[in-house]
Amino acid sequence: MSKPRLVLTRRLPDPVEREMASHFALLSNQDDQLLSSAEIVARAQAHHADGLQITLTDRLDAAAIAALPDTVKIISTYSVGTNHIDLEAARHRSIAVAFTPLAVTEATADVALFLLLAACRRAHEFQMQLRQGRWGAWNAWENLGWDPGGQILGLVGLGRIGQAVARRARAFGMEIHYHQRRRADQAAELGAVYHASLESLFRVSRFVSLHTPSTPQTLGFINANSLSWLPQGAIFINTARGDQVNDSDLIGALQHGRVAAAGLDVFANEPSFDRRYLDLPNAYLLPHIGTSTEQTRARMGRDSIANLCAFFAGAPMPWPA
Ligand code: DGY
C-alpha cells in the first residue's frame, strides 16, 4: 500500500523527519520558511496531501481550512497549543485534528520555574552588573532578592503544565493556590487551594503563573484591572500564550513596581514583541523556548507520528484535539 501523503510545513529535528519519512510521503520545507495560509493550501493541493503536519507558527483559520483540498483528512500540530487552528472549521469539514499535550509538560514547567527563580533572585540585573564591570566587594545589604519558600504561587489553570509547575514549586516550599472554572481532581494531592474567581486568587498570590490556553475569552485578561488585584511587588510568569497579556498594562505595572518582575517566554505577535520590555531590568524575556530541549522536541515528534499513524490505520489517535 502506498504511504499517506503529508505536507510538513516547518523543518522538524532531523531524527523526527527521518522517522516521519519512513511512514509518510513527505513534502517537506527544508528551508524552514514561514508559510502563509495560502501557501500551505497550495502545497496541500500540489502534493495531493492526505494530511498536514504543522506547528504553532502556521495559521489555519476558517478560510484556510475551507480552501484545503478534499484529500486532507487530518491536521496534526507539533504543539499543545491549538489556537492557530480553527477547530470548529476543521470539525465542520470532518478534518481530524491531533496535538502533543503530554510531550510538552515537564519542559514547559521547568521554564516557568526557571523564570520564577530568576525573577526572585533578580538574576538578570545582577548578571548585567557583573558583565558591565559594576561588581564591587561583597556586602550584606545590596543585591537582595526574595525567597520563594513560604510564598503563595497562584496558578491560573491547573491542567497538566500547571500541575507540573505546582509539583516543582512545592519542592521550593511554595504554597499552591489556583483558579480555573472547575475544581481540579488533582488539587488535593498537590495541596492546592481553589479560588472560584481570578480576583480572589490574585489578591493572595505573591507569584502568578499563567497556564491557560489562548481563546477569545482569555484575550488580554492580564490587564491593569487584574494586575491591580495583586499584592504590591508580585511576580508574574507567562509560559502559555502572549495574547492573554495587555503588554502596555504589564509594562506600566513593571515600571511603577506594582509588579516587581515578570518572566515571559511568550508574546502576542512572535517573533516581534513590545520593545519597551527591553528597557526594564525586571523583565525576564525568553524567545518561546518552553519546549526547546532535544528530548522534548523528539517526544513531540514521536507523539505527532503516533497520532498520524493511528489515524491512517483507522485506529483511535492517542491525542485528538
Ligand atoms: C506548544 O506546544 O504549544 C508550545 O507553546 C511550544 O513551545
- State pLDDT tens for residues 74-122: 999 999 999 999 999 999 999 999 999 999 999 999 999 999 999 999 9
pTM: 0.97
Residue 245 lies in a domain: yes
Indicate whether 153 and 281 sit together in one domain.
yes
Q: What is the 3-state secondary structure (H, E, C) of the chain?
A: CCCCEEEECCCCCHHHHHHHHHHCEEECCCCCCCCCHHHHHHHHHHHCCCEEEECCCCCECHHHHHHCCCCCCEEEECCCCCCCECHHHHHHCCCEEECCCCCCHHHHHHHHHHHHHHHHCCHHHHHHHHHCCCCCCCCCCCCCCCCCCCCEEEEECCCHHHHHHHHHHHHCCCEEEEECCCCCHHHCCCCCEEECCHHHHHHHCCEEEECCCCCCCCCCCECHHHHCCCCCCEEEEECCCHHHECHHHHHHHHHCCCEEEEEECCCCCCCCCCHHHHHCCCEEECCCCCCCCHHHHHHHHHHHHHHHHHHHCCCCCCCEC
Quote the mean pLDDT of the chain: 98
Q: Which domain covers residue 306, as residue numbers?
A: 5-103+294-312
Domain match, 121 and 84 both = no
- Is 104's C-beta closer than 6 angstroms to any atom of ligand 1? yes
Domain annotation covers residue 318 = no
Closest residue CA from atom 1 of ligand 1: 79
Atom of ligand 1 at shortest range from CA of 78 = 2
Does 136 share its domain with 179? yes
39 a catalytic residue: no
Could you report the per-residue pLDDT of 232-259, keeping only the tens digit for each?
Answer: 999 999 999 999 999 999 999 999 999 9
> Whose C-alpha lies nearest to ligand 1, atom 4?
79
Q: ipTM for the complex?
A: 0.97
Q: Atom 7 of ligand 1 has which residue's CA nearest to it?
A: 291
- Conformation bin of residue 157: beta by default, left when phi > 0, alpha when psi is -120 to 50: left
**56 Cα nearest atom in ligand 1:** 3
**Would you say the CB of residue 103 lies under 6 angstroms from ligand 1?**
no
278 domain-assigned: yes
Side chain identity, residue 147: D
Does the pLDDT value for residue 38 go beyond 90? yes
How far is Cα 206 from Cα 51, in angstroms, rounded to an integer?
A: 46
**Per residue in 255-273, pLDDT tens?**
999 999 999 999 999 999 9
Residues 39 and 113 in one domain: no
- Could you tell me the pLDDT band of residue 50, with boundaries at 50, 70 and 90? very high
Check pocket membership of 7 for ligand 1, CB cut-off 6 A.
no
Q: Tell how far the Cα of 291 is from the centroid of ligand 1, in angstroms.
A: 6
Mean pLDDT of 177-202: 98
Domain count, the chain: 2
CATH number of the domain within which 192 lies: 3.40.50.720
- In a domain, residue 25? The reply is yes
Are 128 and 251 in the same domain? yes
Q: Is residue 175 annotated as part of the catalytic site, yes or no?
A: no
Any atom of ligand 1 within 6 Å of the Cβ of 301? no
Same-domain check for residues 118 and 91: no
Residue 54 domain flag: yes
Residue of 19, 39, 125, 270 marked active site: 270
Same domain membership, residue 94 and residue 127: no
Residue 32: pLDDT band (50, 70, 90) is very high
Work out the number of other CB atoms within 10 angstroms of the CB of residue 202.
23
Going 177 to 83 to 102 to 266, the CA torsion angle's sign is negative
Q: Which atom of ligand 1 is nearest to the CA of 300?
A: 2
Asked if residue 321 is part of any domain, the answer here is no
The pLDDT assigned to 186 comes to 96
51 and 135, same domain (yes or no): no
Residue 72 and residue 138 in one domain: no
**Taking the CA atoms of the chain, what radius of gyration do you get in angstroms?**
21
Tell me: do 13 and 44 sit in the same domain.
Answer: yes
Q: Percentage of the chain surpassing pLDDT 70? A: 100
Q: Is 291 in the pocket of ligand 1 (CB under 6 A)?
A: yes
- pLDDT of 138-156, one tens digit each? 999 999 999 999 999 999 9
Task: Check pocket membership of 101 for ligand 1, CB cut-off 6 A.
Answer: no
Tell me the C-alpha distance between 180 and 197, whole Å: 8
Residue whose C-alpha cell reads 493556590 in the numeric block: 177
State which of 12, 99, 102, 108 you would mutate to test the pocket of ligand 1, scoring each by most atoms of that ligand within 8 A of its C-beta. Answer: 108
Parallel, antiparallel or unpaired: strands 207-210 and 234-238: parallel
Say if residue 75 is in the same domain as residue 91.
Answer: yes
What does the pLDDT look like over 55-65, one tens digit per residue? 999 999 999 99
**Is 319 contained in some domain?**
no
Are residue 62 and residue 181 in the same domain, yes or no? Answer: no
Q: Would you state the pLDDT for residue 1?
A: 78
What is the dihedral sign for C-alpha 241, 244, 247, 249?
A: negative
> Would you call 134 a catalytic residue per the annotation?
no
Residue 312 near residue 318 (C-beta atoms within 8 A): no
Atom of ligand 1 lying closest to residue 241 CA: 5
Tell me if 251 is assigned to some domain.
Answer: yes
CA dihedral 113, 118, 124, 130 (to 10 degrees): -130
